[in-house]
Structure 1
Amino acid sequence: MSAAGFDFEKARFNMIEQQIRPWEVLDATVLALLGQVKREAFVPAAYQALALSDLEIPLTQPPVEGECMLAPKVEARILQDLALKPTDNVLEIGAGSGYMAALMGRLARRVLTLEINPALADMARANLARAGIDNVRVKTADATTARFAPCADDAPYDVIVLSGSVAEVPTDLLELLRVGGRLFAVVGDEPIMRATLIERTGEASYHSVEPWDIVIPRLRHFPQPSPFRF
């Protein structure tokens, strides 16, 4: 769909007022940021006119399952739940086009984002550079290899974000959080998945809440459930 002559500012206003606020995203900082970081700059040209619509945007051609931008309201709700601070050291798994990393980079001290698809990693790097965001590093890697060793570069983390769903959150990943840090993931199997926020409360203790339900595509190669439970 051509974006020639498209009124992105009007569409951005409608996105915030009609999609995001009704999803209980009311944090003034988050809403302002969504108005500042141009989502259309992180969308493939073929889908640019749909960048601010209430849907997942394919990032590859032909479309590959799971390789997409999440709907704007989902990204906004995640960002609000994380309550990022300027001192936070963040890990994201699933860079995609770099948009979520760009949002987090504007709020946090630094972000490491991992992407398993080299072409998407290159896209994210280019998009972030064009947006002038210099505190986000994109690494091409399968996060799940060698007990999540590719994730450990900047550990411990204040925040870990999984930008796709998993059957469960591996303990090896939780151990990369500092005490007081928090991890966001969408956990479960279709048709029931839950947004899950886990805080590391001690060296071997965690507190988990599930504030809302959503179904999103799977992250690749994450393990299936084990006997461990929170």
Structure 2
Amino acid sequence: MPRPVPAPGAADDDLVRAARAMGVRDERLLSAIRDTPRARFVPAAYVSAAGTDTPVPLGHGQVTTQPSLVALMIHALALNGDERVLEIGTGYGYQTALLARLAARVVSVERLPDLARRARANLAAQGVRNAEVVVGDGTLGLPDQAPYDAVVVCAAHPEVPPPLVTQLRPGGRLVQPIGPGGAEEVEVYERSERGLDRLGFVVAARFVRLYGAHGFPSEAAPLTPRGGP
């Protein structure tokens, strides 16, 4: 028998408090966290843990990003509501749903087809109509729908993939964990005429590796949890 999935409530208020404790002050973002039931974006076995500020497993050696870390990364994008956002790494779609509340359009690329299917179903069940989930190599972006006003990458690599830079409009922001996978510094950048300018450090965290043509070449190395402390 399926586990009951709660509507937004006290558990999501706890996630708002966790985001505030990490320094998030954007009331639009905090409202989006409060109104988006994380329990709808985790596997059924982990519904009871959805209200805690911790990652939960998704299979394939993947885990969800810690909610307060999701909040910090979105906060660094400085969205105002008019943007077209490219997300690399969909998971079960929780961050996608938050972005969809804060931007005009979200396009998310997920490399694992079963996760993409689950994310699409989760987003549809929540009535999210301004987000699209595509299966593909996130390091290539999606040039057919570029340019993007913001890009958020949910996996680690020592460098930003060049296609993501070229698909970001001048003045747009990009957030990515920079590192080898397992010990990262999440950085925020802005596209300028010169290319990509680093704006600053967001937070230290641990992420899985970014695989693809402009990422790591294989999955031979052990995966580390995405978004852990």
TM-score (norm 2): 0.86
Among candidates 179, 195, 200, match of residue 170 of structure 2: 179
Percent identity, please: 34
Paired residues of 1:6 and 1:49 also in contact (CA < 8 A): no
Bigger RCO of structures 1 and 2 (CA < 8 A, at least 6 apart): 2
How has the CA–CA distance of structure 1 residues 5 and 27 changed in structure 2, closer, same or farther, with 3 Å as cutoff? closer
Indicate whether 1:91 and 2:91 are aligned: no
Q: Secondary structure at the match of 1:166?
A: coil
Paired residues of 1:52 and 1:72 also in contact (CA < 8 A): no
Partner of 1:102: 97
Report how far residue 78 of structure 1 moved: 1.0
Q: Aligned partner of 1:99: which letter?
A: Y
Kindly provide the CA deviation profile for residues 163-200 of structure 1, in whole angstroms up to 9, marking residues without a partner as x: 12222112222111111111110101366411111101
Query: Based on CA coordinates, which of the two structures has the bigger radius of gyration?
Result: 1
CA distance in structure 2 between the partners assigned to 1:108 and 1:5 by the alignment: 26
Kindly provide the CA deviation profile for residues 30-76 of structure 1, in whole angstroms up to 9, marking residues without a partner as x: 1111100111111110111111212211112xxx22x2210110001
Kindly provide the CA deviation profile for residues 105-127 of structure 1, in whole angstroms up to 9, marking residues without a partner as x: 11111111011111001001100
Q: Secondary structure at the match of 2:127?
A: coil
Q: Secondary structure at the match of 1:84?
A: coil
Q: Aligned partner of 1:73: which letter?
A: S
Paired residues of 2:185 and 2:205 also in contact (CA < 8 A): yes
Report how far residue 27 of structure 1 moved: 1.5
CA distance in structure 2 between the partners assigned to 1:8 and 1:134 by the alignment: 19
Among candidates 53, 65, 71, match of residue 70 of structure 1: 65
Kindly provide the CA deviation profile for residues 128-185 of structure 1, in whole angstroms up to 9, marking residues without a partner as x: 10010101011111223xxx1x521210110011012222112222111111111110
Q: Secondary structure at the match of 1:158?
A: strand
- Root-mean-square deviation over aligned CA pairs: 2.0
Kindly provide the CA deviation profile for residues 60-113 of structure 1, in whole angstroms up to 9, marking residues without a partner as x: 2xxx22x22101100011111111122101111111111111111111111110
* Paired positions, count: 213
More displaced 10-residue stretch of structure 1: 5-14 or 129-138? 5-14
Paired residues of 1:3 and 1:49 also in contact (CA < 8 A): no
CA distance in structure 1 between the partners assigned to 2:96 and 2:182 by the alignment: 27
Among candidates 210, 215, 220, match of residue 223 of structure 1: 215
Partner of 2:219: none
CA distance in structure 1 between the partners assigned to 2:132 and 2:7 by the alignment: 31
Partner of 1:10: 10
Among candidates 128, 133, 138, match of residue 138 of structure 1: 133
Q: Following superposition of structure 1 onto structure 2, how do residues 13-92 of structure 1 map, counting pairs within 5 Å?
A: 13-17=13-17, 19-60=18-59, 64-65=60-61, 67-92=62-87
Partner of 1:122: 117
Gaps of 5+ in 1: 225-230
Report how far residue 14 of structure 1 moved: 2.4
How has the CA–CA distance of structure 1 residues 133 and 186 changed in structure 2, closer, same or farther, with 3 Å as cutoff? same
Q: Secondary structure at the match of 2:145?
A: coil
CA distance in structure 1 between the partners assigned to 2:173 and 2:44 by the alignment: 35
CA distance in structure 2 between the partners assigned to 1:190 and 1:119 by the alignment: 23
CA distance in structure 2 between the partners assigned to 1:13 and 1:214 by the alignment: 23
Paired residues of 2:8 and 2:35 also in contact (CA < 8 A): no
Kindly provide the CA deviation profile for residues 8-43 of structure 1, in whole angstroms up to 9, marking residues without a partner as x: 6222222322x2211111221111111001111111
